[in-house]
Structure formats: C-alpha cells, structure tokens
C-alpha cells in the first residue's frame, strides 16, 4: 500500500486506558499504553509531539474519545473513525493489534473521518439533547398520573382530550384536595368541555384512596421540578442561538413545519454546509438515504442507512407535522407517496425533503420558498388530464375540455 501520511499514530481508546502506536519515516514503530487521566493524556501529547506525529486516528468508542480529542485537537489532525469501517481480519484481536491496524490504515489513507462539529455546536447539541430527555421525562410522569387515575377508576382521559390542559389541571388539583363534590369539580371545566359536564360527572366517580393521592402528588412535584429545569434549559439554548446562530435560526424557521425545532437541526448538523460536498452526502450522514442492496443484478428492498439518530428522529417528527399542514408542498408530497408507499416510507421521504431544504438554506443563506399545495399537480398537469380523460372515455363518456376563465 502507498504511504500517504509520513508520521501517524493509531489510538485504541478504552474507559481507563488508551493504547498508542506510532509509525513513520525516520522513527521506529513503538507502542505504549497510557491511562485516561488528564496528566497521562498530556504526557501522551508530549510523546506524540516529540516524535513529529502529524495525524492521529482513533475509534469513536462511546464517550471515551471526547476527553482525548479535546486535549489533542489543537496540536494534531485527529481523525475520528467509525469502528464499522476499520474492522480487522478475525483472530488474534488485542488492544496492541487494534492500535497498530489503525495506524497502518491511517498512513495508507484508508480511514474516513467522522464529522466532528465545532465546540459551540457540541455545546448546543448537549443542551438540545438534554432538553429532549427532560420533555420525555415530563411526558412519562404525565402518563404515570393517567395510569394511577385509571387505577382509581377516574375516567378523566375518556372525556377530556388533554388531562393536563387548563380544565384537566384544575380538576386534578381539586381531586388531590378532596374538598369538592363531583358536580362542583365538573363546573371547573372551560370552553367546549362544558358541553360534556354530564359525562364529566360520571367520569369523576371513582375510588380515590390515600395511596393514589400520594402517588399523584409525587408525580406532580416531579413534573414541576422538571419544568423548572426545562425552562432554564430553554433560556440557555436561546442565549446560544442569539449569540452565534441567530441568522441561520431565522432562515430555518421559514420552512413551514420547523419553527422551534430549528435549534435542534443546527445543533445536530451544524451550519457549515461546505463540509458536505452535496446534499446527498448530508443525507447519507444523517441516515435519511435508502440503503443499496443488490445482488446478481437484482435490486432488493434496502432500509435507510446508519446515521445521526437524533437528527433522523426530529426530521421524521417534522415530516409528520408537515403531512398535516394544509396548502403546503410538503403535504402534497406526502399525499402523493402515502397511497403507494405507505405512511412510514412517505414520512422518511418528506423528512428527506426537509433535510435537503435545510442544506440549501444554510449553504446559500436564502429563506425557504413555499411552492404551494398544487405545485406537484401543475408539474404533471398534462399527464393527469390524459389519465382522467382516458378513464372517463372507458366509462362511456365523451369528454370536451374548456379552459377556465
């Protein structure tokens, strides 16, 4: 194999140790083991620098690569590689062999680096992912309260669409106090729910015991605590966006379903689209591209590629929102696909469209241009007209077309 990197190092990273192998022109192959404590990592940095190492390759092992990367990134070109891409020949697998294999691949130019966003994006990503976990925790506690109400035979969720809306929250608070009768609690309903007061009275008749009250109060206290942390997190995310990515945030919000999710998109894929040569590279990296599965000239069904799970998840959610927004291009695209491809594939396709929009918006700094719900029909106007004329003719009708005024 041709040598591309003159002096390189391969790091096999673990929780407590890192095995380093150096090779290159003018230096003898040497392998050392360091602990992952900060002082030892600084010694690793000095050792690599003393041998004139310029490039380093290491696997993305959990979160253990991060402290090593933070220490080495300012001095060396650190290439973080996917373990799936650098599998060695089976047999005789050791930490020493792994580091040596990484070093050989690096020097031959056979490793492909993973996308590592800049520090500001990494910090924003930590905030948005934690916010998502907090929202999931709040939802989980609300579901637990609903479960306890059902255990007490309180059928509030059968009548109220959102038991944590204005009316539902007031009724649950009075249930905890136990001071009001069923009829009085039904009077606390607001808006359209007042039309269901009789059903609400029946739903509130149950067997609420002390244990149920204790469990619900514990969950309510947990929800309040989580919502306070969530509010702080939202404020911190807003500060980060306003400080570094205000323009990009506003541009992404011009995509109809995106709105507040623009901060998540920025956190997951960054704002520098020059790192991705084309939108297809971004799509492949995010896991929104269909996989290739071909053998003997026959193409078989292929699932989507491995990629950024968080970005893929938010794009799918946005696709579901887009499928319900009337008069938009994305809804029309979903409707054109769902009949013949099914809901799941249609959602992935619409999420892919949203990702492509984000790519061009961030790369060229232009807002989204809404094409309208009839865009696809106008593109296929002649074909649609011919199809309907043919079907009507087969049914025995003589068709004459006149342009509308």
Region of 60 (left: φ > 0; alpha: ψ -120 to 50; beta: rest) is beta
CATH number, domain with residue 70: 3.30.420.60
Q: In this structure, are 202 and 168 located in the same domain?
A: yes
Angle value at C-alpha 142, between 141 and 145, nearest 5 degrees: 90
pLDDT tens, 76-110?
999 999 877 777 666 667 888 889 999 999 999 88
What pLDDT band is residue 289 in, cutting at 50, 70 and 90? Answer: confident
Q: Is residue 332 part of a domain?
A: yes
Q: In whole angstroms, how large is the CA radius of gyration of the chain?
A: 29
Closest CA to 48 of 14, 23, 79: 23
Is residue 353 located within the same domain as residue 308?
yes
Instruction: Please state, in angstroms and rounded to a whole number, the distance separating the CA atoms of residues 78 and 72.
Output: 7
pTM: 0.86
Q: Please indicate, yes or no, whether residues 252 and 228 belong to a single structural domain of this protein.
A: no
How many whole angstroms separate alpha carbon 63 and alpha carbon 142? 31
Q: Whose CA is closest to 268, among 117, 119, 78?
A: 117
> Nearest 5°: CA angle at 289, between 85 and 307?
45
pLDDT for 364 beyond 80: yes
Mean pLDDT score of the chain: 91
353 and 262 housed in the same domain? yes
Asked whether the beta carbons of 127 and 236 are under 8 A apart, the reply is yes
pLDDT at 181 over 70: yes
Total of domains in the chain: 3
Please check whether residues 128 and 236 belong to one and the same domain.
yes
Name the residue range of residue 263's domain: 246-292+303-364
**Segment holding 237, helix H or strand E:** helix 210-244
In angstroms, rounded to a whole number, what is the distance separating the alpha carbons of residues 19 and 33?
Answer: 4
Q: What is the pLDDT of residues 162-172, one digit of tens each?
A: 899 888 899 99
- Domain check: are 53 and 145 in the same one? no
Same domain? 250 vs 240: no
Q: Do residues 330 and 358 lie in contact, with contact meaning Cβ atoms separated by under 8 Å?
A: no
């Amino acid at each position: 194999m041709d040598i591309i990197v003159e002096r390189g190092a391969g790091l096999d990273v673990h929780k407590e140790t890192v095995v380093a192998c150096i090779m290159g022109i003018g230096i003898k192959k040497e392998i050392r083991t360091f602990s992952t404590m900060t002082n030892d990592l600084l010694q690793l940095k000095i050792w690599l620098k003393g041998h004139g190492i310029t490039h380093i390759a290491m696997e993305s092992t959990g979160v253990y690569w991060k402290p090593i990367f933070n220490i080495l990134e300012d001095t060396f070109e650190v290439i973080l590689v996917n373990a799936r891409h650098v599998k060695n020949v089976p047999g005789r697998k050791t930490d020493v062999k792994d580091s040596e294999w990484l070093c050989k691949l690096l020097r031959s130019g056979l490793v492909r680096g993973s996308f590592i966003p800049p520090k500001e994006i990494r910090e924003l990503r930590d905030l948005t992912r934690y916010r998502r976990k907090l929202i999931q925790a709040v939802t989980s506690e609300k579901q637990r309260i609903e479960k306890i109400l059902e255990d007490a035979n309180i059928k509030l969720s059968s009548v109220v669409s959102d038991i944590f809306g204005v009316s539902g929250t007031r009724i649950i608070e009075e249930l905890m106090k136990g001071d009001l009768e069923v009829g009085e609690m039904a009077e606390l309903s607001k808006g359209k729910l007042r039309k269901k007061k009789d059903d609400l009275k029946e739903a509130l008749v149950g067997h609420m015991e002390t244990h149920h009250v204790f469990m619900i109060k514990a969950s309510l206290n947990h929800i309040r605590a989580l919502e306070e942390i969530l509010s702080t997190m939202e404020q911190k995310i807003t500060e980060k966006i306003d400080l570094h990515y205000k323009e990009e945030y506003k541009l992404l919000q011009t995509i109809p379903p995106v709105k507040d999710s623009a901060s998540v998109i920025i956190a997951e894929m960054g704002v520098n689209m020059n790192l991705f040569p084309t939108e297809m590279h971004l799509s492949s990296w995010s896991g929104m591209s269909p996989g290739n599965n071909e053998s003997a000239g026959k193409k078989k069904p292929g699932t989507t590629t491995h990629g950024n799970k968080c970005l893929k998840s938010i794009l799918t959610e946005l696709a579901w929102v887009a499928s319900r927004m009337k008069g938009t291009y994305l809804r029309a695209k979903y409707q054109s696909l769902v009949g013949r491809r099914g809901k799941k594939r249609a959602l992935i396709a619409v999420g892919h469209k949203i990702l492509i929009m984000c790519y061009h918006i961030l790369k060229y700094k232009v807002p989204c241009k809404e094409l309208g719900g009839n865009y696809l029909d106008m593109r296929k106007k002649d074909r649609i007209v011919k199809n309907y004329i043919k079907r009507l003719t087969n049914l025995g009708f003589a068709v004459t077309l006149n342009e509308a005024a």
